[in-house]
Amino acid sequence: MKAVGVFALIISFSVAAESKIYTRCKLAKIFAKAGLDNYGGFNLGNWLCMAYYESRYNTTAETILKDGSIDYGIFQINSFTWCRNAKKRQKNHCHVACSALITDDLTDAILCAKKIVKETQGMNYWQGWKKNCENKDMSEWKRGCEVS
């Protein structure tokens, strides 16, 4: 009986740890519904392009940086400034746990990304966007996705 309980616990951890990788069109619909199209002057294509180059649309993406901070989730939001994990020196400007940025529910990640765009230099925060999306035609990113 004890083995069954341990097995169930292992299964629950593995289910919780599974990553969700969105398709471009599914993400376009989520982003449009969340009001990202033209938010901060950036069209939906910019948001899709940025999320692709930051995380490949992977909700559980985590990147450990040289300074010891971690970039979390679909937008790769940094733990030092924007969210809170176990370390005390974080600023947590988004008032959110970093773990909330790596779930399939993108609400907290989107709210934090909006705050970053509003309080910094737009999308210049994201190097993936600067390198791959800035000043490029973004119309391809939402093509075929049935979003206006």
We report the CATH number of the domain holding residue 38 as 1.10.530.10
Q: Residue 5 falls within a domain, yes or no?
A: no
Q: Is the pTM of this model over 0.75?
A: yes
**Averaged pLDDT for residues 133-140:** 96
Q: Which of 37, 54, 108, 134 is catalytic?
A: 54
- What's residue 87's pLDDT? 67
Residue 2 lies in a domain: no
What's the whole-number mean pLDDT along residues 106-121? 96
| % pLDDT > 90, the chain | 80
Distance CA 147, CA 29 (A): 6
pLDDT value at residue 9: 35
Domain, as residue range, for 102: 19-142
Instruction: State the average pLDDT over residues 44-61.
Output: 98
Q: Specify the amino acid at residue 17.
A: A
Confidence (pLDDT) at 126: 97
Number of domains in the chain: 1
Question: What's the pLDDT score for residue 8?
Answer: 36
71 is annotated as an active-site residue:
yes
Tally the residues of the chain: 148
At residue 61, does pLDDT exceed 50?
Answer: yes
pLDDT in tens, 8-44: 333 333 344 567 999 999 999 999 999 999 999 999 9
Higher pLDDT, 113 or 10: 113
67: left (phi over 0), alpha (psi -120 to 50) or beta: alpha
d(CA 88, CA 24): 36
Give the per-residue pLDDT at 3.
43
Q: Is residue 47 part of a domain?
A: yes
Mean pLDDT of 47-63: 98
Where do the H-state alpha helices sit in the chain?
2-17, 24-33, 44-55, 107-119, 127-132, 139-142
| In a domain? residue 33 | yes
Query: What is the DSSP code (8-state) at residue 70?
Result: E
In a domain, 9, yes or no: no
Separation CA 4–CA 140 (nearest Å): 50
Residue 11 domain-assigned (yes or no): no
Residue 80 forms part of a structural domain: yes
Q: Is residue 113 part of a domain?
A: yes
Active-site pick, 37, 71, 105, 119: 71
* Catalytic-residue membership of 134: no
**pLDDT value for 16:** 46
pLDDT digits (tens, 9 = 90+) for 72-108: 999 999 999 999 987 666 789 999 999 999 999 999 9
